[in-house]
Amino acid sequence: MIEQKKHMAKRNVATNYKVPRKVTRKSLENSAFYYLRRYSSSSENLRRILFKRAKRSAQYHGTDVSAGQLWVNEIIEKFLANKLLDDIRYAETKCLSVHRKGGSKQTIRKKLQEKGIAPDIIEQTFTLLDQYSIDPELI
């Protein structure tokens, strides 16, 4: 049984969990735009987030997961083509941010790998990091 109060999301009365909305290509795209407005993300990380949303909806509503996966891939490709997603820029920003906080190269590598950044891009960001790093003996 589903209960809905005014101005609240639908909830399953038996479990008190929010009922996921049925996803469409447009709803996934809107979710991606909203996510990117709030957070910086790599393409693989955004793919995981959107697919998780599509999978949850498909499980609840009994729809096909492969359609959601196809939509997610199309959205990611569109965002990459329109430069809304840029893994190189994301990796550089994340690398410099972690470095400023005192993170080692190993920590930086781990964080970038968790976000799905390709190994060649990680090495490229380390080259950039070496250019911007200040020798501690000069300070």
Report the predicted TM-score, pTM, of the whole model to 2 decimal places: 0.81
Give the integer Cα–Cα distance in Å for 65 and 117. Answer: 25
Mean pLDDT, consecutive 10-residue segments, the chain of 139 residues? 56 70 93 96 97 93 91 97 96 93 94 97 92 60
pLDDT in tens, 116-126: 999 999 999 99
Sign of the alpha-carbon torsion through 91, 93, 98, 100: positive
Neighbouring residues of 98: CB distance < 8 A, sequence distance ≥ 6: 107, 108, 111
Cβ-based neighbour number of residue 106 at 10 Å = 8
